[in-house]
Structure 1
Amino acid sequence: MGAVRIAAVQHDIVWEDRDANFARLAPQVARAVGAGAELVLLTETFSTGFSMTPGIGEPEGGPSAQFLAGQAAEHGVWVGGTCPEIADGQQLPYNSFVLAGPDGTVHRYRKLHPFTHAGEHERFRAGEGPVTLDVGGLRITPFVCYDLRFADVFWTAAPATDVYLVPANWPSPRRLHWQTLLQARAIENQAYVVGCNRVGTAGDGTEHAGDSRIVSPMGELLATAAGVETIVLADVDAAEVTATRDRLRFIPDRRGS
C-alpha cells in the first residue's frame, strides 16, 4: 500500500460556465483513468475560472462538487479540484479544494492564502489550516495556487505528508516562480509535489502557460507539460518518501521540529 498513480489534467477553462466545463472535462478525466490514474487532479476553480464576480459562489456540495463526486463514482477513482463554495451561513465563499472518492467520501481543504494581489481576499474567505488525507495508504496534503509561496505551511505539514497537491490558475508572467517553487517544496520537504495549472486565457485577460508537473522527493521532474491541454501522470509511492527521509535526515534538523 501507499503507491498511487496520480494524473494532473492540464486544461483550459470556459469562463464562468460550469456546464460547459463539466462537458469538456468529463472526457479528459476518462482519458486519465484510461491511462491508469487512481487519483485525477483538476485545476483551481476548474468549473468557473478564477472569477471574482459577486455571486460566483455555490453551496457546499453544489454542482462542482457533485461533478467531482459523479466522476469519482463513475470511474472508481479519486477526483479533485477547487471551486467557490459558501459554507457556515457566510456571504463570501471559500476557495475550496474538494477531493471526492469512489466510495462517496468527500474531503475538503479551504485555501489558506487568498491572492490579495488580485483582490481575492475581498471576494473569498481564508481557510483555517492544512488538511492531510489518506488515499490508499498515501498521505496527501492539498494546497492551492498562492499557498505555494508560503513555505511555512508546507513545512508544518511535512512530517505527515507523502505528496502535496497544488491545483492552480498561475499566470504566465510568473511561470518561473511556479516551476521553481514546486521543485523547491519537494526538495525541502522530501515529498512528492503535483502541480496542476490551467492553460488558456481567463475572462479577465490573464494568460496561463500550464507547466504542470510531478516532482519526486529528490526534486526530479517525473512528468512535465508545456502550454497545451494534456495529462501528466506518475506513480507516487509513500515508501520512496520514507526511504528518502531515512537516507537524508534533513527534516529533523529544522529548528522546532
Structure 2
Amino acid sequence: MTALRVAAIQHDIVWHDRAANFERLAPKIAAAAAGGARLVLLTETFSTGFSFDTPGIGEPEGGPSSQFLVEQARRHGVWVGGSCPEIAAAASADDPRPSNSFVLAAPDGSTSRYRKIHPFSHAEEEKYVRAGDEFVTVDVEGVRVSLFVCYDLRFADEFWALAHDTDLYVVVANWPAKRRLHWSTLLRARAIENQAYVVGVNRVGTGGSLDYAGDSAIIDPLGEILATGAGVETTLVADVEPAHVSSTRSHFRFLQDRR
C-alpha cells in the first residue's frame, strides 16, 4: 500500500459570498496539488460560513459549491472535499431544509456525499438543517476514508462503528475558539481509540458573532500529531499510510477487545 499525501487547508471564510470564497480558495488548492497532495480538504461550509438560519442559504444538490469542488478536482487531478448547504434532489416541497453536505469530488469529477448526521442542537441547527442518516466511507487511492462534519466528532460510537473499515477519518468543521480544547482533545481521542489517522480541518477568522482559532490537525493511529496550526490561514500536509494503520492494529489488538 502506498502513502496518500493529504493537505488540510485551514482558511478564513468570506461571509455569505460564494464567489469570493471560490476565488480565494482556488490558488490554495492549486498550491496543495502542486506540492503533491492527492486529497485536498477544505472546511465545513467553506463557501458561505456557518449560517444555516439565513433564508435561501441552501443550494441545489450539485449547485455552485459542489461544482467548484468538481472543477478543482478535475483541473488538478486530485480529490477535493468540503461541506456546503445542499438541498437534496429528493427533498419534499414541505421540508426544503438543506443538508450540511460533505461533498468529496474525485479526479474524474464523480462525487460522494456524506450528510451530517448530528445537527448542532446547541445552535438550533436542526431547525434549519435536515439530518443525514448514512455513513460514508470512500476508497481514495487505496486509503479507506470516512467522512464526518464538526459536531459528529462528539459521538464516539459512530467512529467506532466504522473503525474496522477505516484508515482515515476526516472531520471538516467550523468549531468555535471558545471550545477549542474540546476540538483538539476529541480529534486525538478518535485517532487513539480507533487506531486510525484523523484529519480535522477547521476555519479561522470571524463568522457571524463567533471567533475561530483553527487548530486543524493531522494525527496518526498512535495519537501523534503530524501537523497542526492555529490562528492563521495555513495548509497542513502529511502522508497517510494504510500499512501504519494495519501494523498498529496488529501490534496493539485493542479493536478486537471491544464488546
**Residue aligning to 2:179:** 174
In structure 2, list runs of 5 or more residues that go unmatched.
Answer: none
Kindly provide the CA deviation profile for residues 1-60 of structure 1, in whole angstroms up to 9, marking residues without a partner as x. 352100000000000110000000001111111221100000000000000202100000
Equivalent residue runs for 1:128-147 within 5 Å: 128-147=133-152
Task: Name the TM-score, length of structure 1 as normaliser.
Answer: 0.98
2-side partners of 1:144 and 1:3: how far apart? 24
| Contact 1:224–1:232, Cα closer than 8 Å, also in 2 | yes
1: distance between equivalents of 2:2 and 2:159? 20
- Is 1:96 matched up with 2:108? no
| Residue 76 (structure 1) aligns with | 77
In structure 1, C-alpha distance between the alignment counterparts of 2:116 and 2:218, rounded to whole Å: 21
CA offsets, 1:110-141, max 9 Å, x none? 00100011111000000002111101010000
Letter in 2 for 1:89: A
Partner residue, 2:215: 211
Q: Are the aligned partners of 1:3 and 1:136 in contact in 2 as well (CA < 8 Å)?
A: no
Measured in 2, the distance between the counterparts of 1:129 and 1:252 equals 24
- Alignment match, 2:130: 125
State the 1:89 CA deviation. 2.6
Write out aligned runs for 1:19-98 (5 A): 19-51=19-51, 52-87=53-88, 88-90=90-92, 91-98=96-103
Q: Secondary structure at the match of 2:215?
A: coil
Superposition misfits of 4+ residues, deviation over 3 angstroms:
none
Residue number in structure 1 paired with 2:202: 197
Q: Distance in 1 between matches of 2:230 and 2:148?
A: 22
SS of corresponding position for 1:9: strand
Partner of 2:188: 183
Aligned to 2:152, the other structure's residue is in SS state: helix
For these two proteins, the number of residue pairs brought into alignment is 254
Cα RMSD (Å): 0.7
Q: In the TM superposition, what whole-angstrom CA distance separates every residue of 1:147-187 from its partner, at most 9, and x where no partner exists?
A: 00000100001010000000000000000000000000000
Which letter maps to 2:229?
A
Give the fraction of aligned pairs with identical amino acids, expressed as a percent.
Answer: 67
Residue equivalent to 1:3:
3
Matched position secondary structure for 2:102: strand
* Residue in 2 that maps onto 1:13: 13
Q: Is 1:113 the equivalent of 2:118?
A: yes
Amino acid at match of 1:60: E
Q: Which amino acid aligns with 1:137?
A: G
**AA matched with 1:106:** T
Distance in 1 of aligned mates of 2:2 and 2:133: 28
The question of whether the paired residues in 2 share the 8 Å contact of 1:7 and 1:39 is answered with: yes
User: Structure 2-normalised TM-score?
Assistant: 0.97
SS of structure 2 residue aligned to 1:222: strand
The one-letter amino acid paired with 1:62 is: G
SS at match of 1:13: coil
Structure 1, unmatched stretches of 5+, are none
